[in-house]
Amino acid sequence: MNRSNFSLRRAALAAGLAAAAAASSTAALAAGDDLAAAEWDAPFVFNMVRSPGLASSPACVVNAKGRVSIQKVGEAEEMTVQLQGLPANTEFDLFVLSVPNFPFGMGWYQGDMKTDWQGKARQKFIGRFNKETFSLAIGNSVPAPHVHDSPFPDASATPLTPPVHQYHLGLWFNSPADAQKAGCPGAVTPFNGEHNAGVQVLNTSNFPDLAGPLKRVK
């Protein structure tokens, strides 16, 4: 075999080995991608519906709808809430609740949402939105910050409260005046930061009282 043919064969062998290595790396990368994808849970998606408490107000936000997606993010959850069919450029308050309808049980203030000119809104929240979501107070009559006096004064002490799970969501008008402009009742409720919100607009009463949607998130 002359030197020229030997060199060509060496070059072909090297190219073959390089191709095999590349193919092996690609396969390993693909396997790694599949593994990484398998580690991500699919988001849990559900709807919010018009509050049954508005049944006696047929002209009030008749097209209101909500759609919620909860995605695991490490040791917490990312909850995306989308709204439509609401008054334009209006503020609302989102709460996590024990039960969706009055008297709501235990609730905590999750955050604010504001609609655009089309009456739509979209907001992401990071927190604990799964079957372990709960509130508690292990001591009776523990002093509590007293910030607001009216129309729903803050408690000056925390009552003893065993763990209470909260698996539902509720959305309120931030202002009774905005609610009235939308053809809704003008009642004042404590469901905003100043405890002077309007009526509930949407909730998750499309799920059983004791098995709200957050309970389905593992």
Same domain, yes or no, for 23 and 80? no
**12-29 residue pLDDT tens:** 445 454 444 444 433 333
Same domain, yes or no, for 113 and 139? yes
Q: How far apart are CA 157 and CA 129, in angstroms?
A: 27
**CA-wise closest residue to 127 among 67, 51, 73:** 73
**89-107 residue pLDDT tens:** 999 999 999 999 999 999 9
Same domain, yes or no, for 128 and 147? yes
What is the per-residue pLDDT for 42?
Answer: 85
Same domain, yes or no, for 27 and 113? no
Q: How many domains does the chain have?
A: 2
**Contact indicator for 124, 94 with CB cutoff of 8 Å:** no
Computed on alpha carbons and rounded to an integer, the radius of gyration of the chain in Å comes to 27
Find the CATH number of the domain harbouring 74.
2.60.40
Say what the pTM is.
Answer: 0.81
**Contact indicator for 117, 89 with CB cutoff of 8 Å:** yes
Domain holding 76, by residue range, is 44-216
Look up residue 191 and give its two tokens. 């469901």
Same domain, yes or no, for 58 and 87? yes
DSSP assignment, residue 213? G
Same domain, yes or no, for 3 and 100? no
